[in-house]
Chain A
Amino acid sequence: MKTRIIITIIFVSLGLIIAAVPENTTKPYKLTANELLDEVKSGTQFVHPDQVADMVVQQDPTLQLIDIRSKEEFEKYSLPGAINVPLNDLLSDEWKPYLNQDIYLNVLYSNGTTRANEAWMITRQLGYKNNYVLQGGLNYWVETVLNPEKPGMTSPDDEFAKYNYRKAASNALGGGGAIEQKQDVKPAKLPPIKKGNKKKMVQGGCS
């Protein structure tokens, strides 16, 4: 019986200590220029169109497509379920809850990759997580997902599997010439704003 009381006292006192000390004081978030360069070099920010197409077809609730082109371009054509955050307004408070959250997988896209990459670098520098870039942008999306090219007869089986998959995805996403088709997919809900969690700002570096 005595050892139980001792163990209980140890656990309870450890609990009291951990409740009293402030959280995570030792490691504030910092992203140095070097770390950012490493990320850019390794290209971890890119998501392949096949993966995005798969998530769109599956109606994966964790996916949030973000169109960073201008409003006119967005209205002309956008991916199903995408929201429009023009690069110029990237830092406005309106979009902050979308960009700085830890629920959805944000995939930024523009026509090519340059502008989406710029947006990604800014969000990364601010310490936001879960933001990614659609590899190759919309141009590559149209090329690979909407109008997949039939592989040559001598191509490996993988290529054919990929082609068949893309063809199916293309049908589901209104590809094959029918680019203007509107999809009835609503944008994901605004993530709940976390309270009591201080925003980690970049310290030092090139803020």
Chain B
Amino acid sequence: MGPLIVNDIISSNTNLFLAFFIGIAFGFVLESSGFSSSRKLVGVFYGYDTVVLKVFFTGAITAMIGLLFFSLFGWIDLTYIYINPTYLWSTIIGGVIMGAGFILGGFCPGTSVCAAAIGKIDAIIFVVGIFIGIFIFTEGYPIWKPLYMAEFMGNLKINTFFNISSGTLVMLVIFAAAVMFWIGEWAEKKFKAPKY
């Protein structure tokens, strides 16, 4: 049955229309659960608030379990799911830059837009910074290109890389998540949030 667009169940315009509402709902939930506060976001790096870690991992394992069960029931054809192509070096370097920006600025790209929408000045400056970064990247593209395209690995999945079934990988991620949540809660007790 799924994915809906590939099998002509909905058109790509309908898809964008649905995405608009899902996007608004996503932003609303982000904001209402406090994700527009940079103190809450960077708490994960200082150990006093690990809600970011918990939310992202819960989202990931829910989606993983959902997709695999949907595939098992024949509701979705996983061969049609788009898998981001892996360019190893740009992934690693991009991750480091993104992490550094996260600690420095207190937002990740999505939450910065969310916080800018409610008028936080630091978030607005952060968004301006994103555009400066985009400008540098695009204007300097010929310089970065060899690095950007290096170590192309195709549309690789972690489980094919390690030669295990996707179900086993999901199980391992769930165990890892449970352990991490437990460590996170322990850290929250150990490191107290600074008073402002």
Contact = CB atoms under 8 A, between A and B. Distances in A.
A28 to B, nearest CB: 11
B154 interface: yes
A201 to B, nearest CB: 15
A27 interface: yes
Describe B's contact surface by its main secondary structure. helix
B163 A195 contact: yes
Interface in A82-111: 101-104
Interface stretch (A15-23, A39-47, A145-153): A15-23
A12 B175 contact: yes
Contacts of B65: 11, 14-15, 18
A194 interface: yes
A196 interface: yes
Contact of B167 (A20, A27, A29): A20
Interface string A1-40: 0000000100110111011110111110100000000000
A62 interface: yes
A154 interface: no
Contact of A11 (B153, B167, B174): B174
Contact of A15 (B77, B79, B163, B175): B175
B166 interface: yes
Interface residues of B, number: 30
B160 A26 contact: no
A207 interface: no
B53 interface: no
B79 A103 contact: no
B61 A196 contact: no
A12 B178 CA distance: 9
Nearest to B62: A11
A101 B177 CA distance: 33
A7 B89 CA distance: 37
Contacts of B77: 27
Contacts of A51: none
Nearest to B185: A4
B121 to A, nearest CB: 37
B78 A61 contact: no
12 contacts: A11-B177, A12-B175, A15-B174, A16-B171, A23-B166, A24-B71, A29-B79, A61-B149, A62-B85, A102-B155, A104-B154, A196-B160
